[in-house]
Structure 1
Amino acid sequence: MHTPAQGRVLVVDDDPTVAEVVAGYLDRSGYDVARAADGPSALERAAAHRPDLVVLDLMLPGMDGLEVCRRLRARGPVPVIMLTARGDEDDRILGLEVGADDYVTKPFSPRELVLRVGSVLRRSRAAAEREPLGPLSAAGITVHPDSRRASRDGTELALTIREFDLLTFLLRHPGKAFSREELMQHVWGWDFGDLSTVTVHIRRLRAKIESDPAQPTLIQTVWGVGYRLDASGGAGRDE
C-alpha cells in the first residue's frame, strides 16, 4: 500500500475496463486506490474509509453520479472529478452545480486524468491550510471564508464550492482584471483545461448575485481581457 500522504482516491465507474485503467494509472502514480461500480457501494466505501478525492462517473446505474455527489457533499467536503460520456454543456453544468471540482469527458487520456487528480488535490490541501480570513464585502455581498458562507443584502446565498471560491477570489482583488486562464489557475489550480468552465461559473455566479444578470454591475467583463469585480457595484455596460 502506498503512503497515505499521496492520497486515497475512490474511483466510481460501472464500466470495469474504465475503472481498471483509471485505478491502474492512479496506483502507479502513488495513490491508494479503491473502486466501486455503483452509487450505494461508493457511499459505503466512502463512509468506511473517507477518500481524499473521488473520480465519479455521471452515468451510473440506479443512483446516478449527481445524486452520489450530493450525498457525498452532505457528509462533508471532498474533491470530486466527474466523468461524463457526453460533451454536452448541460451535463457539465449539472456536475459543477452539485459541487464537482472538475469534469473529464469520455474518452479521455488516463495520464491527463492523473494530472487533474494531482491538481485538484493540491488546490484542496492548499485551501485547507490557508490562514483564516475575516469577512469580505462589496456592494451588499458578504463572504465569510472561514465558515464558507456568503450572503447578499443579508440573505444567504446557495453557492457551489467553486462558485464560492471564485467569488472569494474576486472579492480579495477588487478592481483587478483577470483573464480566464488566470482565474482557472488561481481558483481551480489548473494550468490546463477547458476555459468554458470559467465562463459557465461566471454566468452561474452572476445569476445568484447580480440584480440583473443580463446587465451585470458587480462582476464585469473586461473586453479582450476577462473579468473584474467592481466593489462599488456601479452601473457599467457588460455582456
Structure 2
Amino acid sequence: MTTAPGTVLVVEDEPSIADVLAIALRFHRFEVMTAATVRAALALAERTRPDVALLDVMLPDGDGRELGRRLRDEQPQLGLVFLTARDAPAEIVGALGFGDDYITKPFDIDVVVARIGAVIRRTRPADVLPRHPPLRYGDLELDETTYSVHRAGRTVELTPTEYALLRFLVRNAGRIVPKEQLLRHVWQYEHTPPESTVVETYISYLRRKLAALGPPLITTRRGVGYGLA
C-alpha cells in the first residue's frame, strides 16, 4: 500500500476554490480535510494533527494569519502556507512573518501542489531520526536531530523554514550562496518565481532574531546572494 505524502488542512470559505484545491491534492495522494471558518479549522486540526495548513488570509470569522499563529502554538512543526488575493509587500511580509510560504490568487493549481509538497518535506520530521553532530559556526549551534538553534548558549526560536535557511547557510559558510540556489535547496523551487521576495523576507527575519543575541552574522552581496560573516 502506498503511503500518502502528507495530510493537508485546507481552510477556504469559497466553496469552488476549496473544491479545486481538495481535488487536486487528493489526486496527488495527499489526505485532505477542508474547513470554511476559523472555528471549524481549529476543531479539525485538534482531532487530526495535519502536516500542513493551507490558509486563506481572509475568512468570514477571523484572520487566517491569526489562525495560523494559533495552529502553530498547538503544533510547532505544522507547516503553514497562506493564500492571499493581495500581493503588496506588506501583505507578503505579514504572511511570512511566521509561516512557511505564501501563494497569491489567482493561482496555478500545479504550483500549489508543488509548494505544499515542498513545505511538508522540509517541516515534517522523519519517523526515525539518526543522531547527527551539531552544526557550528562561531557562537552558533544547530542541532540537526532536534531542529533547535542556540547562539551564545541561548535558544533562538525559528520557524521550520527559517531553520532550513540558516542550516543551508551554515553548511555553506565561507561562500556567498546565490538567491537561486537558496530557492532550489530551501524552498525546493525548480524555477525561480518572478519577482519573488521570499528569500529577502526570510533573511530579514533571521537577521533580526540572530542580532538579538550577538553581532551581525548574515552578509549580503547585492545582486548575488547571501553568506555568513
Q: What is the TM-score of this pair, normalised by structure 1?
A: 0.82
Give the distance between the partners of 2:203 and 2:166, measured in 1 at CA: 9
Partner of 1:236: none
Conserved? CA contact 1:8–1:52, under 8 Å = yes
Partner of 2:202: 201
Conserved? CA contact 2:57–2:64, under 8 Å = yes
Cα 1:117–1:211 shift into 2, 3 Å: closer
Partner of 1:237: none
Percent of paired sites with the same residue:
38
Conserved? CA contact 1:13–1:38, under 8 Å = yes
Local SS of the residue matching 1:206: helix
> Deviations for 1:6-37, whole angstroms, at most 9, x for unmatched residues?
33221101111211121122222322221100
Partner of 2:86: 86
The farther-off stretch of 172-181 and 202-211 is 202-211
Partner of 2:44: 45
Local SS of the residue matching 1:9: strand
Cα 1:48–1:149 shift into 2, 3 Å: same
2:65 equivalent to 1:60: no
Conserved? CA contact 2:4–2:29, under 8 Å = no
Give the distance between the partners of 1:66 and 1:185, measured in 2 at CA: 26
Give the distance between the partners of 1:19 and 1:121, measured in 2 at CA: 19
- Superposition pairs of residues 1-80 of structure 1, within 5 angstroms: 4-76=3-75, 77-80=77-80
Partner of 2:119: 120
- Superposition pairs of residues 141-152 of structure 1, within 5 angstroms: 141-152=140-151
Give the distance between the partners of 2:145 and 2:3, measured in 1 at CA: 26
5+ long unaligned stretches in structure 2: none
Conserved? CA contact 1:221–1:227, under 8 Å = yes
Partner of 2:172: 173
User: Alpha carbon RMSD of aligned pairs, Å?
Assistant: 2.6
Conserved? CA contact 1:141–1:209, under 8 Å = no
Give the distance between the partners of 1:165 and 1:31, measured in 2 at CA: 23
The CA deviation at 1:143 is: 2.5
Where does structure 1 differ by over 4 angstroms across 4 or more consecutive aligned residues? 125-130
The CA deviation at 1:61 is: 2.4
